Every structure is written in C-alpha cells, then in structure tokens.
Structure 1
Amino acid sequence: MEYPAGGVALQSGPEVNVSAEGAVAQSDSIGTRGSEYATLMRRVRSAGLLERRVRYYLRLGAIAMTALVAGWVVFVVVGDSWWQLVTAAVLAAIFTQFAFLGHDAGHRQIFRTWRANHLFGLIAGNLCIGVSVGWWTSNHNRHHAHPNTEGADPDIMGVLAHSGARAAVGRGLRRLIFRYQGWLFFPMLLLEGLSLHGASVKAVLWWPIRNRGWEALLLAAHVVGYLALVATVLPPGKALAFIAVNQGLFGLFMGCTFAPNHKGMAVLGEDESVDFLRRQVLTSRNVRGGRVIDIAMGGLNYQIEHHLFPSMPRPNLRHVRPMVIEFCAERDVPYCETGLLESYSQALRHLHEVGKHAGRLDGKEQS
C-alpha cells in the first residue's frame, strides 16, 4: 500500500477525529474484518437510509431542466454579444448539475429498476450534456470496485501518475507531464469536457454498451442541436469563444468536484488484499462545508459514504455520515475529512511529490 507524502494514510490538517476513545458502543459485536461491512450495512438499512427518494430527484431534475431551458433562452435573447461568455459560464455550471444527475442514475440511486434509471441517465447525460451514460457507468463502476488501485482503477491510469512507481516509468511527453503534474493539473482540467465527449463518442462506436442506438441518437441530438444553436446565434469568432469557455469551464467544474475525492489518499497495489470497508474508506476523502458544498459538488463531498453505499440516494449521504464516523472510530479506521481548499492543497501536494519520481529508477535519473 502506498500512502501520500508523509507516509500516513490520514493527511495532516483539519480533519474529523475518529479515534476509538469516546466512541459509543453498539449492541452488535465487532466481529472479524470480513463481517464488519455487513455489520455497518445492517445499521444503515435499519435506519432506512437506503430507501429511494424519488420525489427529491424529480424535483431536482425539474429545477435543473428549468435552469437549462432558461439558460438557452437567455442565450438566444442576448444574441450577438460578448456577454454570451457569461452565459457560457452559467450553462457550464448547469451542465455539471446534469452530470451529477446522470451519475446518480448510473448508480441506480433514483429508481428501483435499471430501465428507469437508464432512461433518466440518457436524458440527463446523452441528451442534455453530451456524455454517454453507458460509458460513464461502465467506467465509473470499475473505479468503485477498485478505488485508487494501480492497474485496476481507470481513474488513476490516465494522464496523471498517482504513485511514484508509475511516475518512474514514464517516457517522453508522459514523463514531462508526470514531472510537472502538480502545476499542470488545473490547466489540464479545461480539456476535461472535451475528453468526456470524446470518450462518449468512442464508447458508442466501439464499446459493447446497452441500447447503443438510443445512446448514439441522443448523443448526436445533443451535438447537432448545440452546434446548430450556437452557430445560428453567434458569428464564427464569438461562437468559438462561447464553446471554448462553456466546455472549458464544464471540464474545470467537473474536475474540481472530483479532485478532492481520492487524490492524495492511499494508493493500493493491484494484488493487495484489503477488505471492502478499508478499501473504500482509506482511499477516499470527504469535504465539509454545508449545503452550498453539497449542491456545488453534487453530494460527492460525502465521498466515503458514497463509496460504501453507491446506491444510496444523494440526500441521505449526510445523514449516514455520523454513523460511518462512529463505526470507523470503533474499529480505529482513519476517516479523512477536510475543508475544500485544504483538500485541493493535499491533492496538489501529493501530485507534486509523485511527480518528483518521474523518469527515475532506483533513485537515478533516466537518460
């Protein structure tokens, strides 16, 4: 197991204290590590926190759709103006909220059946923002099964290195990116929106995803409608500027939501044996901040709880958090929670420290 810079699983800084002292004992026994998650699950299920919150999601979906339609109406009304760059930024924030809805549908948090969740995801993802829910679900489920695990988690096998071992074997451009990834991280997020669209198109064309026809149709409808509307309202120069700001900020907002979740937490080896509870808790970080952060991050600021209970409806995550903190305290499992700015600081420090290993084997610079 590789830990963040400093050699401990729990980062320094303002965090929740979950030491075993003072923890309230529960009536059920602690048992062995293999049964610990089952014990926690029984407590959570008995509290009713896994029950669906359909009306919450229908209300949230209606608000998001109203905001999206209003945003595009404002775009048309404003017309040929550089003020459209403000509209682009607002629409980017709205797109992010639809991404959260698609994420929740992919985890079957909204409805009981796969079909209903998939239909909701197709509308929120493919049609409204041009991101394939089929691709997202497949990719994201692999991440949940193996968070921060080298060779198994697709989220840490991309353009950045999360361990010194991976940074050390980088070559060419990849080696250069690894070395300066702490500095490049936020600028690279401006390309994340285009990356999501590109991966979605690739998946619809080549991956064996369900309902490929509907995925392709709704994805094409978004792309054609988006480009046609922008080209109709704005001249070429302003249209390109609008798209650059809109897609760049969409990627930045998405990346700023995901960055605090796992970067700088424990990195596991592919063959490392860790029980489910610790695999999810030790590799995840929560971000505190109240309702504003809950909305801005789509509930993903409760990353530990989300990883322990992926199908739990978003509004229930803040209610299960105290139970998880208490449960981790009983078993001396480190529970990491910080403020938003501190989470970025920890993530960037980790990327910077890992980047120092770029191009090095056995502590020597590669030729």
Structure 2
Amino acid sequence: MTEASLPRGGGYAELFAQVREAGLMDRRRARYLVKILVTALVFGAVAVAFVMIGDSWWQLVTGAAFAALFVQFGFIGHDAGHLQIFASKRANDVVGYVHGDLLIGLGYGWWVGKHNAHHANPNHEERDPDVDLGVFALTEAQASGPTAPRRGPIGRFVLRHQAGLFFPMLLLEGVDLHISAVRSLVARRVPRLRLEIVLLVAHTALYFAAVFLVLSPGVAVVFIVVHQGLFGLYLGCSFAPGHKGMPMPTATEKLDPVRSQVLTSRNIVGGRVTDLVLGGLNYQIEHHLFPRMPRMNLRHARPLVRAFCDRHAIPYTETSLIESYAQGLRHLRAISAPARLGT
C-alpha cells in the first residue's frame, strides 16, 4: 500500500487494532502497584538515611538520590495523567495528585492540561506549548520572526549561545515548574483548585521543615540547590530526547494522525535500564501513538509500529541517547546562527 492509498487517518485504526489484539492496551495494575510500592520504599529508606546522617555535607549525596526519586515519582504521575494505570479517571487522578502535588510539589492539574495539548499537536510551531521554551528559540520565528519576543541584553546573549546553555539552564527546570504550578493556582487554571492548594502547601511545609530541622542553615541551602538543580536536570534530560531537533510542523502542513506523531518523535535505543531511567519515554513514538498504553507494554509495541512504518514508508527515527542530545543541540545552534553572525 502506498502513501497515497493509505486510508483516512493514515492507517491509525489498522495499527491500533493490531496493538489491541496483542493485548498491549490492557492495564498492568499489578506491575504499577509494585513500581509505586518499590519507589515509595526506596524513598523511605533515603529519608531514614537523611535523618540518620544529620547535619553533614554528605547530605548532598542524599540530595542527588532524592532528585532521582522525585523524577521517578514524576514518571508515575505522568502515567496517571495519561490514564495508563487504572481504568477509572478518579483512581488515576488520586495517584497523580499524590505524586505530582504532594510528593514533588508540581501542579498536576495544570500539567495534565498542558501535556495533553502537547500530545494533540507535538512539536507544532504554534500549537504545542512545549515548543515555547521562553529564552530559547526552537524556530526561526521565535528567534527573529515578527512574533519573536523582545530580548534584552541577557536574552540576546542566551539566544546566541543557547546550544551551550541548554543543559546548564535545565538546572532551573524544577524551579520553573514549581513557579508555573503556583501561577496556575493564582490564575485559577486548574480543575481542583482547593485540593491542589492544600497539597502544594503541605508539600512545601513538609519539605522545608524536614530540611531545616535536620540541617544547619548553610548546609540546608546548599542541599536545596543541589536537590532542585539535579531534579530539573534529570527531568529535562528525560523529556528533551523525544522531540528536540525533530521536524516542527506549521499551520500550513496537514499531517494525518499517524505521521503527526511519528515524524515529530524520536525513540532512544537501550534495554531495561534505559526504560527505568527514562520512565518509558524512550519509546516516544509508541507513547505518542498510544498515550494510554501502560509504559511496560511500549517495548512490545515497538516492533509492530516499526513494521507498520516500514510497510507504509513512514520514517521511524531511533537513535542513542547521546546522539539525540547532539541532534537537539545542533538544531539549537542552527536556529541561533543568525543571532551569532549578526544577520
């Protein structure tokens, strides 16, 4: 079957029928409950170590461990937001609000709306909220087009050197997400305002109480900087490989549902360790095609999706983690070239 003869929807119904027949859309509740329990137990163990170590610079090691655990909690909240864990939206929301708001201090309600908009139009120059990175420019229009933001001296410096600054500025990603959560509450852009206020206040109170009761002020401040910085870096490094440097459709381009997801996404090769470290986001193509598919099933869907893409001559991008970062940085550097050259 050629591209021109593909059915309406780019053959999505055919592909979905294949994965559903293979049982890959079935819930994996037991696996998720084990994952949640194990992550909670590890968190508890690190918390006990934090108290036992006391006021010591060795706490920077526990800060790094907490950063990794916060991202793992975030992955669970991400899966709950996609309704991957339970059939009931309410049950998924309970998991999402606990892991998002209470445990890591991010606004689950705000994030779900933003993330759903991203999935509906991935990498779309005008419709994907994840394309708007503030000081960074992912498109020529963002860099120097008529709709480009006004940039002061600092903004122009960042634009010129955005490839080199990308990873260092990810250290601020966690703080930015905390601020965005608060802004969403102030603007009342969340479906359960009171619940999120209570959970975020509880998280903030418990977090600062634990840190400043156990640590002296100087160590506490450095601990927070290390913890939040590494949390943002790990989180950003987990989400960036999926789309940065991939094609970015514009309003004039009409893509069918399959191509709109596959052409804009990139998979990361690796084994079970990669699956754990990236929370299943390494199967970005399959995740975007089937956002409600449990992450444990994505690796099994990959051969079906790749075979489908091969049959219909749809480019299927898969690369190493390091190469994905290199591609993203090359894209950032190319977009900033006019600013560096003064053109």
TM-score class normalised by the smaller sequence: over 0.9
Q: Select which of 169, 179, 188 maps to 1:188.
A: 169
Is the contact between residue 164 and residue 358 of structure 1 (CA under 8 Å) also seen in structure 2?
no
Q: Percent identity?
A: 51
Matched, 1:156 2:131: yes
Q: Give the structure 1 partner of residue 20 of structure 2.
A: 45
Matches within 5 A, 1:136-215: 136-159=111-134, 160-169=136-145, 170=148, 171-172=151-152, 173-215=154-196
Distance in 1 (alpha carbons) for counterparts of 2:338 and 2:14: 41
Q: Select which of 249, 269, 272 maps to 1:288.
A: 269
SS of residue paired to 1:358: helix
SS of residue paired to 1:34: coil
Greater CA drift, 348-357 or 95-104: 348-357
Matched, 1:241 2:217: no
**1:35, CA displacement in angstroms?**
4.7
Q: Select which of 311, 314, 317 maps to 2:295.
A: 314
Amino acid corresponding to residue 356 of structure 1 in structure 2: A
Amino acid corresponding to residue 153 of structure 1 in structure 2: D
RMSD between superposed Cα atoms in Å: 1.5
Amino acid corresponding to residue 311 of structure 1 in structure 2: R
Paired residues in the alignment total: 334
> Tell me, which stretches of 5 or more residues in structure 2 are unaligned?
none
Distance in 2 (alpha carbons) for counterparts of 1:186 and 1:240: 22
Amino acid corresponding to residue 122 of structure 2 in structure 1: P
Matched, 1:67 2:48: no
Matched, 1:227 2:177: no
Distance change in 2, residues 1:352/1:112 (3 Å): same
Distance in 1 (alpha carbons) for counterparts of 2:188 and 2:158: 28
SS of residue paired to 2:338: coil
**1:276, CA displacement in angstroms?**
1.0
Is the contact between residue 167 and residue 359 of structure 1 (CA under 8 Å) also seen in structure 2?
no
TM-score with structure 1 length normalisation?
0.88
Q: Select which of 78, 87, 101 maps to 1:103.
A: 78
Is the contact between residue 126 and residue 222 of structure 1 (CA under 8 Å) also seen in structure 2?
yes
Query: Can you list the C-alpha shifts for 1:82-133, whole angstroms capped at 9, x where unaligned?
Result: 0000000011001010000000000000011111100110111111111111
Distance in 2 (alpha carbons) for counterparts of 1:268 and 1:358: 23
> Tell me, which stretches of 5 or more residues in structure 1 are unaligned?
1-24
Distance in 1 (alpha carbons) for counterparts of 2:257 and 2:285: 12
Q: Give the structure 2 partner of residue 343 of structure 1.
A: 324
Is the contact between residue 175 and residue 359 of structure 1 (CA under 8 Å) also seen in structure 2?
no
TM-score with structure 2 length normalisation?
0.94
Q: Runs of at least 4 residues of structure 1 off by over 6 A?
A: none
Amino acid corresponding to residue 231 of structure 1 in structure 2: F
